[in-house]
Structure 1
Amino acid sequence: MSDVRFGTAGLRATMGDGPGQFNTALVARASYGLATYLTQNQIAGPVVVGFDARHGSARFATEAAAVLRAAGRRALLMPRELPTPVLAFAVRHLAAAAGVMITASHNPASDNGYKVYLADGSQIAPPADAAMEAAMAAAPAAVPRTEAGAEFVGEDVVDAYLARAATLVPAAARRDALRVAYTPLHGVAGETFRRAWELAGFSPYAEVAEQAAPDPDFPTVAFPNPEEPGALDLAARTAARADADLVLAHDPDGDRCAVMIRAGDGYRALSGDEVGALLAEHLLTSGRIGADGVLATTIVSSPLLDRVAAAHGRRCVRTLTGFKWLARAPGVAYAYEEALGYCVDPDAVRDKDGITAALVIAEMATSVPLRERLDALTERYGVHVSAPRSIRIEDPALASTVLRRLLDAPPPHLAGTPVDHVEDLSAPSTDLPPTAGVRVTAGAITAVVRPSGTEPKLKLYLYVSGESAPADPNHERAALTAQLELAGRELCNVLLGMRGSERG
C-alpha cells in the first residue's frame, strides 16, 4: 500500500522503494485504479500515456501501459519524451477515455509523478480522484500486467498539436525585429517549442546551450523551477550576450512559461500575475475572446484580472489552486494561475500550456514592448504588486501545525496595517470547496498561506492593489512593493519564528 495521494496535479513523490515513494508498484496500482474507475463508469476509449525525460519516466510509462492493457484497455504510448501539453492535446484529439503523463514537472530531480487527464482533457479532480484512490487501495498485491508489445501514438498527433499552436499567432510584419533568448531548463520542451516557433514564423532565438538538451539531473540549477531564485541566471546571461529584448523559459515538462524583460542593464522576471494580465488584455483587445467568454484565475492570484475582465464586459471567476479547477470553469476562454501557468487555447489544451503561451507572449512583444504594455495596464487599472514566497517544510504535519498557529494567533498588523480578517479556507463555503489554507486581510493587503500540492513547501501568496490611474505610478509601485515585502517578512516570522527557515 502507498500513502501517496492525489495533490494539486496528480501523484508526486521521491523515487524509491516502499510506501510513500514513487516506484513501479505505485504506477501499477495507479494504472489499475484508473482502469477500474473507467470501467465502473462505463467510459469507453483508449488511454494515452506520455512521459518526460526524468529518471525512470519511460520505464514507468511502459509499466502503466502494460497494466492498462491487462485490464482490457487499449493503451497508446506517446512516440517519445514530449511536453505535458502535447499529451493533454492528444487526449482530446484522439477522443481518448483518459491520459496519463509521467512527470514531476518542476520538482527536484529525485522526484517523479503520475498525472491523470480525463476524457474532456482536464486533470482529474474530485470526486474522480477519490474513486480512483479507492480502486488503488483495492488492487491485488500482484497487479496484473501484460508483456504484449506496446502500441504507439503516431507523429501525426504531434504535428497536429504544432499546427494548432501556430494558428494562435496571426501574421505580423515585425517578428524579425524581436530578439529572444530561450531555455527549456534541461527539460523536454526544447524541440517542440523550436518547431512551434518556426511554424509561427518567428526568427531564430538564442538558446541557453548549457540547458538545451534534456538532462534528468538538472545540473545547472538548484531546483528546476523557473520561479526559484537563480533558475534563470544562465538565461539572463545568454540574453545579455544576444542583446535580447525578451527571455522565455519553460519548466522541465513545458506546461509553464517564465518571462524576463529588460530592466536597466539586466533583466527582470515578470510575475505570473503580470503575464496573466498582459495575456488577458491582449486576447480581449484583439477580439480572440468572445462576448460570452469567461476569464478564470485562482483564489491566490492578484485582483488585477477582475479589473481587466470588468473593463471589457467579461466575467471573471476564481477557483481553488490548480488547473484541474480552472479548466472546469464554465465557459472558460482564458485562464491563468500565478505560478506561471497560462491556458490560451482551452478548446485544444484544457490545461496550462507553456508552449502556446510563449508564442502569444512573443507575438505581443513584436508589436509593443512588454514594458510599455505593463505601463498601459498600470495607467488603466492601477498598480498591482504580488510577492509570492515559499518555506520548505518536509513534514506535512508541521505544515498543518503552522496553519493552525496562524488561525489561533494571527498577527495584529501587517506592514503597519491592522489585520481586519482571518479566514479558514478549510471551512465549508458557499463559493468554493474546502481547501487547506488561511487567508489574512489587512486593508489593501491580502495574504494566502497554503501547503503546496506538489512539493514539500508552505506557499505564501501576498498581493496589494493601489488606486486606478495613479499620479506617479513608479513611486506608488515602489511604496507598495516595500509594504508587501515588509508584510511578507512579518508573516514568515509569525509562521516559523526568526530561525532562518524562509526561502524566496
Structure 2
Amino acid sequence: MKDWQLAYEKWNSFEHLDSSLKKELANLQDNNEALEDAFYKELTFGTGGLRGILGAGTNRMNIYTIRKAVSGLAKYLKENCVNVNDRGVVIAYDPRYMSKEFAVETAKVLGAYGIKSYVFDTLRPTPVLSFAVRYLATVAGVMITASHNPPEYNGFKVYNEDGGQITPDEANQIIAAIQETKNELTVPYIDQEELEKRDLFTWVGSEVDNAYLDRLKQISKLNEKDMQKEKDLNIVFTPLHGTAHDLVLRGLDQLNFTHVDTVTEQAIPDPEFSTVNSPNPEEHQAFAMAIEQGIKVNAEILIGTDPDADRLGVAAKDKTGNYSVLTGNQLGALLLDYILSKSEHALLANARMIKTIVTTELGRAVAEKYDVQTIDTLTGFKYIGEKIRQYDATGETFVFGYEESYGYLISSFARDKDAVQAAVMACEMAHYWKNQGKTLFDALDVLFERHGYYLEGLRSLTLKGKQGSEKIAAIMDGVRANPLNQIAGFKVEQVEDYLSSERTINPDNVIETITLPKENVLKYKLAEESWICLRPSGTEPKIKCYYGVRGTSAKDSEERLERLKAEMDQVLNQYA
C-alpha cells in the first residue's frame, strides 16, 4: 500500500473525524487521483504559514491541519519566547469559508498549551493584525486568510512578536516543531466555552481599530490646515468583498475626503467573491464595476483592496480619458516620489527605501534623487519587515517599502504590506496632482521624463498538483543546467543564483557571494539596464518570470519588453 493510501486509511477509519470531512471522503472513495492529491504529502508550511485548498486530507486546509500547525507554533513559542502564556497570541480572520472556525480552532489548541488568545470579534485586515501584535504586546499573531487566492483556498499566516511575518529561520524552527506531531487527528485542544471560563479566550473589539486609525492619520503629508479642508477629489472604492471597507472609509474621512463612492455590491463580505473572476486588484477585471461607477461620478481615482486588505490597486484616467490600472511598480514609484518630495530633506539623511529584487528599478532612481538609499530584499514582505526590525536597533530610518505585486508600507506601525495606509496616501497624492492640473498618469510621465522609461512585465505559468510541482522543479533545474549568455539580443552581464548564493559577473566569471537568504530564484542582469528573474511562487502553484527594461521612450521600452517575453516563453516551454 502506498504512503498516500495509508494516510487516507488513517483518516477514513478515524472514529471521531469531523462529519463534513468524513462525508467528503465518502464521495471521493472511488476517485484515486483526487485522493492521492489530497494525501500524497502534508500541506507545506511555506511563506509565513500554510495556504491550500479547503477539504479533507493532509494536503488540504481543514481543522486537523490547522491544529497540527498550531501545536507546532505553541511548542516553538514556549521554547523561544518569554511570558508566552500571559502575553498570548492575537488572531484575526478574513471572510473566506472556514476563516472564523479556523481562528477559533487556533485558540482552542493554544489554550491546551496554556496560551491565551485574543480573537477579533469580526473580520479584520491583515495589517490590523500586524499592528495588533505590537499594540497588545502579544508574543505572536495569526491571520486566517488566503489573500487573493480563489474561493476554494484558505490559509494560516504567522506573525512574530514584532508584528512582521515570521522569518525563514523562525519558520524552520516552527516546521521542526510541527513535525514532532505525528498524528494530526489527535492534537489536544480545549473547547471555547471552557477557555473563556479559564480566561484563555478574549474577544477583541474596536479599541485596536481606533488606535490604528490614530496612527494612520499621522502618516499624512498634509499640514493641519489642509487636513481640515474638504477635498474636491472624487473617489470610487471597492474592497472586493473583503475586510477593508470600514477602515479605508474612516481613514479617508479623517482627512476630509468626503466625495467617496463605494461599490455597494462589492462592499459585502462574500467568500465566493461572486462579482469578480478573481478578488485580486492585480487583475484588471476586478476593477470593472469600479470603472462603471467611476464613469457615473467622474472619479479622479479608483481604489481597490484585496480580501485581507494587504494589497492595493489604483486606476485613473489615462491620456485617452479612459480608466487604466496602474501597475504595482508604477504606483509604488509614484507614492515614493510623493512621500519623499513632501519630507524634509534633513530628515532623510539616514533614510532607507526597501524593495524586492523583482520590483522596478525606477524606485531606486526616485530614491537617489532625494539622496535616499535603496535596499533590496528577496521577494516577500517578510524580508522588508525583517529589515525594519533591524533599523529599530541601528537607528536607520524606514521611509517606504514596496513590491511589484501591489504591496506597500508607508509607516512601520504595521510591519506587513498595508492597503489601508496605501489607499489613504494614494488619494492624498491624487489630490495633490489634481491641484497641479495633472492625473496620476500625467504624474507618471513626469517620473519617466526625469528618470527614463522603465517598464516591467510578468508571465505566470500555473502548474497544479503533484505533476505541476515536478514541472516547476524541472524548469528551474533545466535553466540552471543550461546557462544563458544572451537573452533577446541583450548580453547577460550578471547571473544571481539565490539558491547557491552566488553572483557570477561576466565576461570574466568573477564570483561574488550573495548575502541574502537562500531561495530558489535566478536573476539575470542584462545589458542596457534590462533584467529577468525566474522564481517559483511561495503561495501558489505557479512559476513566475519577471522582466524589466529601461528605454528611451515608451515605445522603445515596450519593444524591448516584448523581445524579452518572447524569448523567455521559448525557454519556459522547452523545460515545462
In the superposition, the TM-score normalised over structure 1's length comes to: 0.93
Native 8 Å contact 1:50 1:100 kept in 2: yes
Structure 1's unaligned 5+ residue stretches are 471-475
Q: Deviations over 1:86-130 (max 9, x none)?
A: 111100111110000000001111000011111111001121111
Pairing partner for 2:489 from 397, 416, 440: 416
Matches within 5 A, 1:30-45: 30-44=69-83, 45=87
Q: Which moved more, 1:32-41 or 1:230-239?
A: 230-239
* Structure 2 partner of 1:64: 106
Structure 2's unaligned 5+ residue stretches are 1-6, 8-40, 392-397, 434-438, 502-512
**Residue 339 of structure 1: how far off its partner (Å):** 0.5
* Structure 1 partner of 2:476: 403
**Residue 280 of structure 1: how far off its partner (Å):** 1.4
The question of 1:101 aligning with 2:143 is answered yes
Native 8 Å contact 1:405 1:495 kept in 2: no
Matches within 5 A, 1:3-14: 3-14=42-53
Q: Which moved more, 1:91-100 or 1:170-179?
A: 170-179
In the aligned structure 2, how far is the partner of 1:433 from the partner of 1:175?
47
**Residue 175 of structure 1: how far off its partner (Å):** 5.2
**Residue 277 of structure 1: how far off its partner (Å):** 1.3
Native 8 Å contact 2:348 2:372 kept in 1: no
The question of 1:310 aligning with 2:348 is answered no
Q: Which moved more, 1:218-227 or 1:46-55?
A: 218-227
**Residue 223 of structure 1: how far off its partner (Å):** 2.0
Could you tell me which amino acid in structure 1 is paired with residue 268 of structure 2?
A: A
Higher relative contact order (CA 8 A, sep 6+): 1
**Residue 497 of structure 1: how far off its partner (Å):** 5.2
**Residue 422 of structure 1: how far off its partner (Å):** 3.9
The question of 1:367 aligning with 2:435 is answered no
**Residue 35 of structure 1: how far off its partner (Å):** 1.1
The question of 1:125 aligning with 2:125 is answered no
In the aligned structure 1, how far is the partner of 2:241 from the partner of 2:123?
13
**Residue 412 of structure 1: how far off its partner (Å):** 5.8
The structure where helix makes up a greater share of residues is 2
The question of 1:383 aligning with 2:467 is answered no
**Residue 187 of structure 1: how far off its partner (Å):** 1.2
Could you tell me which amino acid in structure 2 is paired with residue 168 of structure 1?
A: I
The 3-state SS of whatever aligns with 1:352 is coil
Give the % identical residues.
36
Native 8 Å contact 1:88 1:351 kept in 2: yes
The question of 1:92 aligning with 2:134 is answered yes
Native 8 Å contact 2:235 2:299 kept in 1: yes
Instruction: Work out which of the two has the higher radius of gyration on C-alpha atoms and give 1 or 2.
Output: 2
The 3-state SS of whatever aligns with 1:235 is helix
In the aligned structure 1, how far is the partner of 2:45 from the partner of 2:256?
40
In the aligned structure 2, how far is the partner of 1:265 from the partner of 1:456?
37
The question of 1:490 aligning with 2:567 is answered yes
* Structure 2 partner of 1:224: 279
* Structure 2 partner of 1:335: 401
Q: Deviations over 1:145-167 (max 9, x none)?
A: 11123311231111111222122
In the aligned structure 1, how far is the partner of 2:548 from the partner of 2:336?
19
Q: Deviations over 1:238-279 (max 9, x none)?
A: 212221111111011001101111011311111111111112
The question of 1:254 aligning with 2:320 is answered no
* Structure 2 partner of 1:353: 418
Matches within 5 A, 1:456-495: 456-466=541-551, 476-495=553-572
In the aligned structure 2, how far is the partner of 1:422 from the partner of 1:295?
24
Change (3 A) 1:175 1:382: farther
* Structure 1 partner of 2:377: 319
Could you tell me which amino acid in structure 2 is paired with residue 491 of structure 1?
A: M
Native 8 Å contact 2:48 2:167 kept in 1: no
Native 8 Å contact 1:97 1:119 kept in 2: yes
* Structure 2 partner of 1:144: 188
Native 8 Å contact 2:353 2:401 kept in 1: yes
Q: Which moved more, 1:388-397 or 1:318-327?
A: 388-397
**Residue 59 of structure 1: how far off its partner (Å):** 0.3
Pairing partner for 2:514 from 415, 430, 439: 430
Could you tell me which amino acid in structure 2 is paired with residue 301 of structure 1?
A: T
In the aligned structure 1, how far is the partner of 2:533 from the partner of 2:253?
40
The 3-state SS of whatever aligns with 1:459 is strand
Could you tell me which amino acid in structure 2 is paired with residue 246 of structure 1?
A: I
Matches within 5 A, 1:16-31: 16-31=55-70
Pairing partner for 2:242 from 182, 187, 208: 187
Native 8 Å contact 2:48 2:159 kept in 1: no
Native 8 Å contact 1:411 1:491 kept in 2: no
Native 8 Å contact 2:536 2:543 kept in 1: yes
**Residue 217 of structure 1: how far off its partner (Å):** 0.5
Change (3 A) 1:230 1:50: same
In the aligned structure 1, how far is the partner of 2:563 from the partner of 2:182?
53
The 3-state SS of whatever aligns with 2:543 is strand
Native 8 Å contact 2:112 2:189 kept in 1: yes
Q: Which moved more, 1:101-110 or 1:189-198?
A: 189-198
In the aligned structure 1, how far is the partner of 2:330 from the partner of 2:361?
11
Pairing partner for 1:244 from 275, 296, 299: 299
Native 8 Å contact 1:53 1:214 kept in 2: yes
In the aligned structure 1, how far is the partner of 2:265 from the partner of 2:343?
39
Could you tell me which amino acid in structure 1 is paired with residue 463 of structure 2?
A: I
**Residue 371 of structure 1: how far off its partner (Å):** 2.5
In the aligned structure 2, how far is the partner of 1:363 from the partner of 1:258?
15
**Residue 78 of structure 1: how far off its partner (Å):** 0.9
The 3-state SS of whatever aligns with 1:177 is coil
In the aligned structure 1, how far is the partner of 2:471 from the partner of 2:284?
24
**Residue 204 of structure 1: how far off its partner (Å):** 3.3
In the aligned structure 1, how far is the partner of 2:353 from the partner of 2:45?
26
In the aligned structure 1, how far is the partner of 2:484 from the partner of 2:569?
11
Could you tell me which amino acid in structure 1 is paired with residue 366 of structure 2?
A: V
Q: When the two structures are aligned, how many residues end up with a matched partner?
A: 490
In the aligned structure 2, how far is the partner of 1:372 from the partner of 1:152?
47
* Structure 2 partner of 1:274: 330
In the aligned structure 2, how far is the partner of 1:201 from the partner of 1:7?
41
In the aligned structure 2, how far is the partner of 1:419 from the partner of 1:291?
35
Change (3 A) 1:37 1:9: closer
Native 8 Å contact 1:163 1:199 kept in 2: no
**Residue 41 of structure 1: how far off its partner (Å):** 1.0
The 3-state SS of whatever aligns with 1:133 is helix
* Structure 2 partner of 1:473: none
